[in-house]
Amino acid sequence: MISPRAWFIREAAGPAASRGARSPFARDAPVPDLRPAGVESEEASEVWEGAAVGTATDDRDLDGVSKAPRRAELGVYLAILAMLLAGFGLLTFLAVSSGSPSDVRQRPVALTTLATIAGPFTGAIARDGQSCCLAVSRTLAGYLAPFLAAGLLAPALIPAPTGGGRGLRLALWTAGWFAWLAGGPVSMLHALN
């Protein structure tokens, strides 16, 4: 952390002081370069200086690479999730509302359709939590949860300095949610059997 005195001297001297120029307050003493080794570019220097004095660094780490998805990317992630939920919700509704009228009356059609986001637990919800359906749902969830976890963690853990990183984030997000939501129709195969 930079001391308040060194910060004041550097700020008063202007941008030339951070490159080793002389301070107007001490005519013979050079101002020390307070940046850590390896921080040479102006952009990285600004990020470092902002972090050193406690200001926001616009979601970049000290190396200048964005690690978190930006707001525009967040909209893309939510749009993908909404499209997947709409598709699998429609499949769930069609599966639960089909069959003989007496069977359909016994099923919670609206609840099961709204619970599409529960993925493999959709079948257990359609059968009001019967033990055999719940056991199948738990087994499926054990296999599908790692895919969902990878998809949820990818936007936070994979840096995206180029289009390749962003593409990988989106691909893992989409694949994780697709695998989780695809567990719904698979669990429905057992529940509606």
Cα pseudo-dihedral 101, 103, 105, 110, rounded to 10: -110
In this prediction the pTM is 0.60
Name the average pLDDT for the chain.
Answer: 76
Q: What is the pLDDT of residues 110-147, one digit of tens each?
A: 888 888 888 899 888 888 888 898 999 999 999 999 99
Q: Is residue 123 helix, strand or coil? A: helix
Q: Where are the domains of the chain?
A: 4-52, 71-191
Q: What is the DSSP letter of 159?
A: -
Could you tell me the pLDDT band of residue 193, with boundaries at 50, 70 and 90?
confident
**Tokens 């919800």 sit on residue:** 125
Cα pseudo-dihedral 43, 46, 51, 52, rounded to 10: 140
pLDDT surpasses 70 at 179? yes
The residue among 171, 4, 139, 158 whose CA lies nearest residue 67 is: 158
* DSSP per-residue string spanning 28-82: SSBPP--SPTT--SHHHHHHHHHHHTT---TTB-TTS-B-S--HHHHHHHHHHHH
